[in-house]
């Protein structure tokens, strides 16, 4: 019962057209005040203004800097500690209760401390993002390492790779790449949310620009930055999937 490709494509396109038509109609027919919901036809002009004033590039660069540095650090820490805990029973037992205590605290609950410790600064934003992606990667890596086929570890020992480091690089890491990558990818989305949240509290970037615009009821500007976020996330996610598929070429 597979639908033909052309039909599926047409239906998807129709959905987009209907969505924008409805959106355009609402303010134009006076059903919603244009100030509360800008018509999509106004967005390109607003985008052009933001672009030429330089505000757009500034905000994007600042947000990307928060995003990438927080993401890289938080993911690296999460994966490293998750792998180490997965390989060591002692470490697992030692961290068991601490993890249960800290894990349920939402990343955003760290905002007060981030601001007290680091002020309204890039460091505070980085900190919130790091906390936001740490747990996802920690649990993905821990679960991945614990799920590695014991038979392959025995194989590694039978062929002379007996030290923890040898096992790590010969078997455990390659066997865990896929679930760790899945964790990293979830983190990509989580980190975006943390970026915006941190910037809504005043750290310079896309989120801050949105807050400024909304306090002036410049909803068209808000929409420009919402779309910007969606596009940036889409680009990062696509790049990540391409990288992952290269690493997992053996699956094909």
Partner 1 sequence: MISIKDLTLSFDSDRGRTIVLKDFHLDIADGEFVAVVGASGVGKSTLLRVIAGLVKPTSGTVTRDNPETPGRRPYAMVFQDARLLPWRRVVRNVEFGLEGLGLDKATRRRRALEALALVGLADKADRWPHQLSGGQRQRVAIARALAVDPDLLMMDEPFGALDAITRQGLQDELVDLWQRTGKTILFVTHDIDEAVYLADRVVLLAGSPAGVRSADRIEGPRPRHRDDAMARETANAIRGRLSGTVEAGEGI
Q: Cβ closer to partner 1: 172 or 206?
A: 172
| Cβ at position 151, least distance to partner 1 in Å | 6
Place of tokens 């792998």: 83
Q: Which residues, other chains included, contact 38 with Cβ-Cβ below 8 Å and sequence gap of 6+?
A: 27, 46, 219, 220, 223
Rounded to a whole number of angstroms, the minimum distance from the CB of residue 174 to partner 1 is 5
Nearer to partner 1, 1 or 249 (CB): 249
> Which one, 148 or 221, has the nearer CB to partner 1?
148
Tokens of 243: 């990288």
* Closest alpha carbon to 56 in 193, 210, 202, 199: 210
The DSSP symbol for 38 reads -
Would you say 49 or 161 has its CB closer to partner 1?
161
Nearest-approach distance from CB 46 to partner 1, in angstroms: 49
List of residues contacting partner 1 (CB under 8 A) = 151-152, 154-155, 157-161, 166, 170-171, 174-175, 177, 250-251
Q: Alpha carbon 164 to chain centroid distance?
A: 32
- In the bound state with partner 1, the residue whose beta carbon lies nearer, of 124 and 171, is 171
Query: How far apart are the C-alpha atoms of 230 and 189, rounded to whole Å?
Result: 10
Shortest spacing between CB 250 and partner 1, in angstroms: 5
Residues 6+ apart with CB under 8 A from 21: none
CB of residue 251 vs partner 1: minimum separation in angstroms?
8
Q: Which helix (H) or strand (E) holds 105?
A: none
């Amino acid at each position: 019962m597979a639908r033909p490709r052309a039909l599926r494509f047409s239906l998807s396109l129709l959905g987009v057209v209907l969505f924008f038509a409805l959106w355009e109609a609402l303010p134009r027919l006076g059903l919603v005040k244009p100030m509360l919901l800008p018509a999509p036809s106004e967005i390109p002009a607003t985008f052009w203004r933001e672009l030429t004033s330089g505000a757009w590039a500034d905000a994007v660069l600042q947000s990307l800097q928060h995003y990438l540095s927080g993401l890289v650090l938080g993911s690296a820490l999460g994966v490293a500690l998750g792998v180490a805990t997965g390989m060591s029973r002692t470490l697992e037992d030692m961290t068991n209760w601490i993890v249960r205590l800290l894990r349920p605290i939402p990343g955003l609950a760290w905002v007060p401390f981030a601001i007290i410790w680091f002020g309204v600064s890039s460091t505070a934003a980085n900190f919130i993002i790091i906390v936001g992606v740490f747990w996802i990667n920690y649990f993905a890596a821990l679960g991945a390492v614990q799920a590695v086929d014991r038979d392959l570890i025995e194989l590694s020992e039978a062929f002379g790779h007996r030290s923890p480091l040898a096992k790590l690089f010969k078997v455990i890491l390659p066997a865990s790449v896929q679930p760790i990558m899945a964790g990293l990818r979830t983190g990509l989305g989580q980190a975006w949310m943390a970026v915006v949240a941190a910037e809504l509290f005043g750290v310079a970037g896309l989120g801050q620009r949105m807050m400024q615009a909304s306090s002036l009821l410049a909803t068209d500007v808000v929409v420009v930055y919402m779309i910007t976020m969606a596009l940036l996330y889409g680009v990062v996610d696509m790049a990540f999937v391409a990288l992952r598929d290269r690493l997992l070429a053996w699956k094909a």
